[in-house]
A and B are shown apart, each in its own frame.
Chain A
Amino acid sequence: MGLVNPDFGLLFWTLISFSIVLFILGKFAWKPILKSLKDREVSIESALKSAEDAKMEMHKLQADNEKIILEAKSQRDILIREAREVKETIIREAKTEAGAEASKLIKNAREAIENQKAAAITDIKNQVTELSIDIAKKILERELSSPEEQKKFIASLLKQVNPN
């Protein structure tokens, strides 16, 4: 039967042409096509990987940033607390110092007043003494002329003393 009898001519041409086509396509089509497919796969894979890496890096950076921000916040809190403490100490110290100073001043003033008072009293005492002696001296000089006279005299003396 002709259908299942391979024809020599067709065998011959199929073998020759197939070999040539296999050679041409293998060298100039399949090789570059498969190579660029492979290259593209590799490049896509590496691109995906680097994207993944970048994502991870970003995550890390984000975490770092958060950590830095948190640290900064706590640092700020500490600074504020310290500042507040310093302020309070300064105020307290200032207050105590001012109080001490004031009391010292009061004390000094009081002392000065005391001194002045004492000095004034002494002065008064001395003047009283001198006046007394004066009066006594004048009494002694006008001795015994009359008792009436004496009384008048003493009253005038006293009048002289009195106005101040």
Chain B
Amino acid sequence: MVEIATQSLKRLIFIVVVLSYSVFQAAAWVSEEEPIDSLQTGTEQLDSPVNTEEHPAEHADEHNGKFEPGKFIMDHIGDSYDWHIATFGEKHFSIPLPVILYTSEKGLTVFMSSAFHHGHESHNDFYISSSEKYKGKIVYLNEANEEVRPLDISLTKNVTGLLISMIILVWVFLSVAKSYRKREGKAPTGLQNLLEPLILFIRDDVARSSIGEKHYMRFMPYLLTVFWLIFLNNVLGLVPIFPGGANVTGNIAVTLVFAVITFAITSFSGKAAYWGHVFWPPVPHALKILMIPIEIIGVFIKPFVLMVRLFANITAGHIIALGFFSLIFIFGGIHVGAGYGVSIVTLIFTVFMTMLELLVAFIQAYVFTFLSALYFGMAVEEHHH
């Protein structure tokens, strides 16, 4: 009896935790965009008791009052110069991040993104563009009064998110490495115990099986680093508030770098057999005309696919979750009651999606690592059968 009671209690606690997490997530995502504000101004629901209390109507002036899900979603999956935490009424809470710009005329310019006052002011002639071409990016006007992008190496939200994840990664694995040294030859404990199965999984089922006993150790550092970095960033991307929430692995620049490194390692470790297979494939001579271009294109397609797969999967997950939240405000725009009604459905869907995205976070990190290992394996293969 006691057992059943504790079991159902555990289940209840689990449900409560998951639900409260989802509410929190919804609240965090939603508050960033202050759509309730927009709701109020856009419709005649000003006298709704909950809304009027929290959001006086006078903040509405700077918003056009219409909820735009496309803009809402794109703003969240894109990069930005500051890290938005939440918005209460008209107060924006965000972490200012350093902006680093270089132009041939002005040289190096460094300042905090708070100088822009959330994109409303310019600083040192730099301002955040709202034109079609450079939307959301820092630009300045040249002599011809055209918007020009400076060389922009600002520590944006994504860069900061990446750096935070890297600090976590280095800290975790250095401490794990220390515990390996300290407890040499003994059974693993704690964090070491938690991470070891995945390290072994990467080593035995990814690297060793696809690269081969002879060469796999050479590629282990890259494979492990890329796996953990992608996995950690995928998971952090699911956490709605700082230090999570940055769509790092859903950004094509990040996946491009990973794919290019995989491509570079594959090409540099490619043996005669690999290049021979590319430039002189073992097919009948008549087919060679067809196969050689295909093989050469294939060399570039492989990393390209790696890049797109990771980017698209993670971005899609974010878009779906944000899309569900947008539903609340779209329906809320029609009627506040409908908004609250849809929010329940949205919550359920978001819980489901978050579970699914956790799975995707692991699968995509695994797939990227596995395919990289497969390409390395092809590159170092000694002979063809």
Point out residues on A near B: beta carbons under 8 Å: 2-15, 17-18, 21-22, 24-26, 28-34, 36-37, 39-40, 43
Question: Quick check: is B220 within 8 A (CB to CB) of the other chain?
Answer: yes
A25 touching B77, Cβ below 8 Å:
no
Question: Quick check: is B169 within 8 A (CB to CB) of the other chain?
Answer: yes
B177 touching A15, Cβ below 8 Å:
no
A8 touching B151, Cβ below 8 Å:
yes
Q: Tell me the dominant secondary structure on chain A's binding face.
A: helix
Chain A-chain B contacts (Cβ-Cβ < 8 Å), number: 122
Complex Cα distance A2/B77, Å? Answer: 11
**Given A24-B170, A25-B224, A33-B177, do A7 and B253 touch, yes or no (CB 8 Å)?**
yes
* Other-chain contact of A14, B162, B176, B181, B199 (Cβ < 8 Å): B162
B77 touching A18, Cβ below 8 Å:
no
Q: List 22 A-B contacts (CB under 8 A).
A: A5-B252, A8-B153, A9-B152, A9-B159, A10-B79, A10-B158, A10-B251, A10-B254, A11-B253, A24-B170, A24-B174, A25-B169, A25-B170, A26-B222, A29-B177, A30-B224, A30-B225, A32-B177, A32-B181, A33-B173, A34-B217, A40-B185
**Given A10-B159, A30-B220, do A25 and B257 touch, yes or no (CB 8 Å)?**
no
**Given A28-B177, A33-B199, do A39 and B78 touch, yes or no (CB 8 Å)?**
no
Q: Tell me the dominant secondary structure on chain B's binding face.
A: helix
The size class of the interface chain B forms with chain A is 35 or more
Complex Cα distance A29/B176, Å? Answer: 8
**Given A13-B159, A25-B170, do A3 and B225 touch, yes or no (CB 8 Å)?**
no
- Closest-by-CB residue of B relative to A15 is B257
B180 touching A10, Cβ below 8 Å:
no
A22 touching B225, Cβ below 8 Å:
yes
Return B69 CB to nearest CB of chain A, in Å.
Answer: 15
B203 touching A8, Cβ below 8 Å:
no
* Other-chain contact of B173, A5, A25, A43 (Cβ < 8 Å): A25
A14 touching B203, Cβ below 8 Å:
no
A29 touching B173, Cβ below 8 Å:
yes
List of B residues within 8 angstroms of A34 by Cβ: 199, 203, 217, 220
List of B residues within 8 angstroms of A17 by Cβ: 159, 162-163, 166
B253 touching A3, Cβ below 8 Å:
no
Return B376 CB to nearest CB of chain A, in Å.
Answer: 15
Contact string against A for B residues 188-222, beta-carbon threshold 8 Å, 1 for contact and 0 otherwise: 00000000100110010000000000000100111
Question: Quick check: is B373 within 8 A (CB to CB) of the other chain?
Answer: no
**Given A8-B153, A36-B180, A37-B199, do A2 and B135 touch, yes or no (CB 8 Å)?**
yes
List of B residues within 8 angstroms of A25 by Cβ: 169-170, 173-174, 221, 224-225
Question: Quick check: is B22 within 8 A (CB to CB) of the other chain?
Answer: no
Complex Cα distance A97/B221, Å? Answer: 101
List of B residues within 8 angstroms of A5 by Cβ: 252
- Closest-by-CB residue of A relative to B228 is A25
Question: Quick check: is B156 within 8 A (CB to CB) of the other chain?
Answer: yes
List of B residues within 8 angstroms of A30 by Cβ: 173, 177, 220-221, 224-225
Complex Cα distance A83/B158, Å? Answer: 100
Question: Quick check: is B136 within 8 A (CB to CB) of the other chain?
Answer: yes
- Closest-by-CB residue of B relative to A40 is B185
B177 touching A3, Cβ below 8 Å:
no
Question: Quick check: is B74 within 8 A (CB to CB) of the other chain?
Answer: yes
A22 touching B222, Cβ below 8 Å:
yes
B261 touching A10, Cβ below 8 Å:
no
